[in-house]
Amino acid sequence: MKRASAFLIATLLLAGCSTTSGLGTSAERLDSSAHRFYQEVHSDRAPAHTTDDAAALAEATRDFSRAVDRTKSRDELQPTFDRLAERYHHVRKQVDNHESPYSDSSLAFERVTEAYLDVDRALNHPESSYRN
């Protein structure tokens, strides 16, 4: 009986780790791509508000990645992800505006978008067949 219980507990722990490790990988990729995007915007000498928005997105991705490292609870991660999503969508609207200062950095932002969508799927749709 003890062996069966120990096996069940170990299986559940491993399942939890594999789910959050996919999220962790995606969060790290999002953090990295958002920081590359910020560096590109910054080096293009974009207007201050543009650089500030890119910096705020990069900071939000760093906060989220650190939160993923600290906790394995999706419920605890959701508020941090919501702040990240708000920043992401703010910048996304600006990138989609073809006359925005981001137009030269749109390729770099595509990488941010890919990673953001991976994080969203891993966090908010864990039952999907998506694998990282």
Sorted by where each starts, the structural domains of the chain and their CATH numbers stand as 2-124 (1.20.1440)
Say whether pTM exceeds 0.85: no
pLDDT at 46: 76
Q: Which amino acid is at 100?
A: S
| Number of residues assigned to the chain | 132
Confidence (pLDDT) at 122:
92
Nearest Cα residue to 85 out of 124, 132, 111: 124
Q: What is the pLDDT along the chain (132 residues), one digit of tens a residue?
A: 555 443 334 333 333 333 445 899 999 999 999 999 999 888 877 778 888 999 999 999 999 999 999 987 889 999 999 999 999 999 998 888 766 666 667 788 999 999 999 999 999 887 754 443
Q: What is the pLDDT of residue 124?
A: 87
d(CA 22, CA 33): 17
Please count the other Cβ atoms lying within 10 Å of the Cβ belonging to residue 71: 13
Distance CA 111, CA 90 (A): 16
Q: What is the DSSP string of 105-118?
A: GHHHHHHHHHHHHH
pLDDT at res. 73: 87
